Amino acid sequence: MGNLRTRGVWCGAGFLGRSRADVRERVSRLVDLGFNLILPNLKDGLGRACWRSEVIPEASHEAYQDFDLPLVLMEECERVGMRVHAWFIDFFEGENGAAFRTHPEWAMRDPHGRTTADETLRGKRFGCVWMCPAQRPGYADQWLIPLYQEFAKRYPVEAVHHDYVRYPGDLAPDQYCFCDSCLEEIPRWAVYASETYRNERFEHELYDRPYLEAHWEPSPRVLPEGWQKWSRAERARFLLEGGFFAGGRRDLDYFFYTFRVEAILRFVRECAEAVRSVASTMKISGAFFKNPIHSGRFIGQDWRRFPPHVDICAPMDYRDHFPGTFEQYLALLRETIGLQKRWAAGFEQLWIGFAINFLFKEEPNGPYPDSKVRDVVRTIEESQPDGIVVFCAEQIEEYGMGEALRRSFRDSS
Ligand SMILES: [Zn+2]
């Protein structure tokens, strides 16, 4: 089918129902629309694993104790040639989820020691927690990676799929993470003081160069006097707003953001090693923000550096991630896919994700013009990526876009 060899669709576990007959019917509906890949959400935003986990039984979703959804889905998909990528929500967890309940110390903390649950977003208490990707031992290595590994070992699907593999973005992107572990680890990682001479300032002998910052290579002690007695908020402020040289440029944010990028990178690497150790041919895909240079700064997600730990890049080129009118969205989408092809050069494949609901900003109450869906699919196809992924099966039905997609996919063949 034209350029769009992969035509994928994200869906919630609930969309698939609770019986084999349900699953068969939902899968057949998606096949009929022209999809050849399904990405079911099997580790959800409340922190529940949609299978009966043996490594972390308390993470198991109660609805799937007696119904092996991943197994049934795999079997039903195989019958009709549908491929499966199991979609995991990585660092975003429910406040009442088992991970946070049993290990509150694994959550991200702001400079005041609060979790993201207490943030206010659009007038409402946020109520969900983000878990710290950097802490070891912590959520990444004690909880999330074991779940990935168990899933990969038990269910030989084509791929597992990362989502929320990052720091929070719509919530104060500069405020996390200052958990106890990160407060210790950032200065240690950045070598803000020597382990051997903890209190030696190691000032430059001469300061004979034209710029203060030109005297950086002897690695002077960066931590200020009294550091050990400083509160969490004071330390956080220094780590984000302080300077490598007292009185110099306030450049420590460079190290803070780099630490976050490396924490995410370490997780994708360790996750890939764990998955591939039990399923050597399994692929790993992921949904990422549209510009890895920007998302490296704001949410620690510089996905240009993910290969070879991630094989398939699926940027979420949703309309709400772009400014302007619908026409401007199409033009910016074309421009962005051109850039993404360069940024994603290290991946095996680039699939472009788009969301249904955000297309209808101008028609919040309908009717919903299906020409918008056809225009988006055509724009993506003309940019010649390796595939397309639609968010999501539920919205295709809610907005009545099934026929538009079927025709678009058929026309692209
Ligand atoms: Zn942390």
pLDDT in tens, 237-293: 999 999 999 999 999 999 999 999 999 999 999 999 999 999 999 999 999 999 999
Closest to 78 in 3D by CA, of 15, 42, 31, 10: 31
CA of 254 to the centre of ligand 1 (A): 17
- What pLDDT, on a 0 to 100 scale, did the predictor assign at position 413? 58
Q: Where are the alpha helices (DSSP H) in 49-208?
A: 69-80, 98-102, 139, 145-154, 180-189
For residue 27, what is the domain's CATH number? 3.20.20.80
Does 242 reside within a domain?
no
CA of 133 relative to ligand 1 center, distance in Å: 7
Provide the angle, in degrees to the nearest 10, between the axes of the packed helices 180-189 and 252-278: 100
Measured CA distances, 255 to 111, 225, 286 (Å): 17, 20, 26
Task: Provide CB contacts within 8 A for 213, sequence distance 6+.
Answer: 244, 245, 248, 249, 251
Indicate the number of domains in the chain.
1
Contact 321, 349 (CB under 8 A): no
Residue 22: pLDDT band by 50, 70, 90 thresholds?
very high
First to last CA, the chain: 4
For residues 362 and 40, give the distance between their C-alpha atoms in angstroms, rounded to a whole number: 29
Structural domain includes residue 117:
yes
pLDDT tens digits along 394-413: 999 999 999 999 999 987 65
Q: Helices marked H in 190-291 — which ranges?
A: 232-241, 252-278
Arithmetic mean of pLDDT over the chain:
96
Give the Å distance between the CA of 169 and the centre of ligand 1.
Answer: 16
| pLDDT tens per residue across span 196-222 | 999 999 999 999 999 999 999 999 999
- For residue 105, report the distance from its CA to the centre of ligand 1, in Å: 9
Neighbours of ion ligand 1 (CB under 5 A): 132, 177, 179, 182
CB atoms under 10 Å from CB of 201, counted, come to 12
* pTM (2 d.p.): 0.97
pLDDT for 1 equals: 41
Note the pLDDT of residue 2.
Answer: 54
Q: Ligand 1 center to residue 347 CA distance, Å?
A: 29
Tens digits of residue pLDDT in 50-98: 999 999 999 999 999 999 999 999 999 999 999 999 999 999 999 999 9
Distance 53 CA to ligand 1 centre (A): 26
The verdict on residue 215 lying in a domain is: no
CB 37 within 8 A of CB 77: no
Structural domain that includes position 11: 6-175+259-411
In a domain, 271, yes or no: yes
Beta pairing class for 120-121 and 124-125: antiparallel
Calculate how far, in angstroms, residue 308's C-alpha sits from the geometric centre of ligand 1.
25
